[in-house]
Amino acid sequence: MNNNVIIIGGGPCGLEASAQLHQMGYNVILVEREPQLGGHLAKWDRLFPEGIKAKEVLDQLIANINGVKYFLNTEVKSINQLDKEYNVILSNGITILATAVLMASGFDLFPAEKKEEYGYGIYDKVITNADLENYFNTGKDRRITAAPKRIGFVHCVGSRDEKAGNRYCSKVCCATAVKQACEAKEAFPDAEVFCFYMDLRMFGRGYEDLYLRAQKEYGVRFIRGRVSEVAEDINSQLIVKAEDTLSGKPIKVTLDLLVLMAGMTNCQAGVKVANMLSLKKDDDGFFTCKDSILHLQQSDKKGIFYAGACTGPKTLPDTLHEARAAAIAIHNYFKERK
């Protein structure tokens, strides 16, 4: 039996799992389809709740995998179950026999243009959470020209939405929205900031404090109502319609920038690999764990493991926990087989 573990996905999850398994003495091969490691984290600016720089976290994660073999710009071309191991052929021509495979394929952001009524890709002043992070990171976005006077955040875009095919809550968008609302106020101190939410799910440690800070220090206005329609006036300002469900009145507000909090969906590239192995998916599109409490890291196939957002929306700390848990699950798997 060989010592090989192949990890699919070089985001924070794949990085952490690689580091742990490498330390345990396994021969780890990390496969990433993009030209750099880090996944979505590499494109993010700061992290909730405290606003730690994403780059600092990522640098540390990458430093930890020192010694792990990884391939960039590489996809899994085919994967076959043999008698005791998996035969994996990569797009760079390399073939690997691996005893265990870890799916750390993560998530795709919901394509916000699918919610036509919000006008992403149609109106110039509508952006997504990812666009805003990119703006914070680089200071550049063609859609943010003059300092916006009024900014709105729409929670739950493509989440908790039967029409979008995603009934689930994406878990991280509320905290991200509140974080970004504060940051937007920091970037544009004269701006009024509105958050349109259905339910605020500030469940983690420090999240409620973030919410309080947003109200107290940044004066963010929270409106309990889902945005249903966005129109544009002649000055290409946005007219946003929602109901203030607390007062029971429909409201409208003119905005200079609207940020859509696109939710999480299972990563399509990961699904492609999973399909080669006929791995099961739930009707929410995420992979099915062996069970939902005791064996979150195991799949229904021996030797295939899951970690991170490929089994449902997760925060970054959750993902890192799962990466470590997966490392232990894989370690135990090797021990049982000896």
Partner 1 sequence: MRERIIGGYDHFVLPFMIGMIFILVYLLIAMIKVIMSLPASDRKKLALSLINPKIMYKNIRDIICDCLLHIKIFKRNLLLGYMHASIAFGWFMIIVIGHIEVMLFVPQRNGSLYYPLFYRFFVAEQNQTLKGAVFFFLMDFFLLVILSGIGLAMYKRIRSRALGMRRTTKPCFADRVALYCLWSIFPLRLLAEGFTAGISGGSFLTKPTNMLFASFLGNDMNIMPTWWAYSTVLGIFFLALPFSRYMHIPTEAFYIFLRNAGLKIHHPRKGVAEAEIYSCSSCGICLDACPMNVQKKNLPYSSVYFIRFQRRNNKKKINEIADKCLMCGKCVALCPVGVDSCGLKQAQRAVVNNTLPYDYKFLGTAGHTAAAPQNDDNGILYFAGCMTHLTPAIIKSMTKIFEAAGEKYLFADKDGGVCCGRPLMLAGKTEAAKEVIAKNTQNIMESGCKTVVLSCPICLKVLKEEYNLKGITLLHHTQYINNLIQQKRLVLNKSEESFVFHDPCELGRGCNIYNEPRNVLQSIGQLKKAGKEKKESICCGGSLGSLTLNYNDRVKITQESLNILTYNNPDKIVTACPLCLKTFSDQSARPVVDIAQTVAENICNGCIKQ
Partner 2 sequence: MANFGYSLTKSSRIDLNNRNIEKWNRLVELEPDVLKCMACGSCTASCTAGKFTKTSLRSAILYLQNGQEKEALEYIQSCLLCGKCFMVCPRAINTRHLLLSISKIYSNR
Residues within the interface to partner 1 (CB under 8 A): 114, 116-117, 119, 122-123, 162-165, 229-232
> Any residues with CB less than 8 A from the CB of 192 and at least 6 apart, and which?
149, 150, 151, 219, 221
β-strand partners of 203: none
Q: Which is nearer to partner 2, 198 or 276 (CB)?
A: 198
CA angle, 171 then 177 then 181, to 5°: 165
Share of the chain residues as helix, strand and coil, in percent rounded to the nearest 5: 30, 30, 40
CA atoms within 13 A on the CB side of 217: 14
- Contacts to partner 2 from residues 78-107, by CB under 8 A: none
Which one of 16-24, 76-84, 159-167, 177-185 is the stretch in contact with partner 2 (CB under 8 A)?
Answer: 159-167
C-alpha distance from residue 51 to each of 10, 82, 205, 218 (Å): 23, 46, 14, 15
Does residue 122 touch partner 2 according to CB under 8 A? no
Q: How far is the CB of 223 from partner 2 (least distance, A)?
A: 9
Phi first, then psi: give them for residue 324, nearest 5 degrees.
-70, -40
C-alpha distance from residue 229 to each of 106, 225, 250, 263, 280 (Å): 31, 12, 12, 18, 36
Indicate which of partner 1, partner 2, none lies near residue 245 (CB less than 5 to 8 Å, by partner kind): partner 2
Q: Which is nearer to partner 1, 184 or 240 (CB)?
A: 240
Does residue 156 touch partner 2 according to CB under 8 A? yes
- Contacts to partner 2 from residues 194-253, by CB under 8 A: 198-199, 224-229, 241-245, 248, 250-251
Query: Two tokens at 225?
Result: 């109502």
Q: Which is nearer to partner 1, 116 or 186 (CB)?
A: 116
Indicate which of partner 2, partner 1, none lies near residue 242 (CB less than 5 to 8 Å, by partner kind): partner 2
Q: How far apart are CA 232 and CA 217, in angstroms?
A: 31
Q: How far is the CB of 44 from partner 2 (least distance, A)?
A: 26
Q: How far is the CB of 230 from partner 1 (least distance, A)?
A: 7
β-strand partners of 86: 81, 98
Indicate which of partner 2, partner 1, none lies near residue 142 (CB less than 5 to 8 Å, by partner kind): none
Indicate which of partner 2, partner 1, none lies near residue 217 (CB less than 5 to 8 Å, by partner kind): none
Residues that bind partner 2 (CB under 8 A): 117, 156, 160-164, 198-199, 224-229, 241-245, 248, 250-251
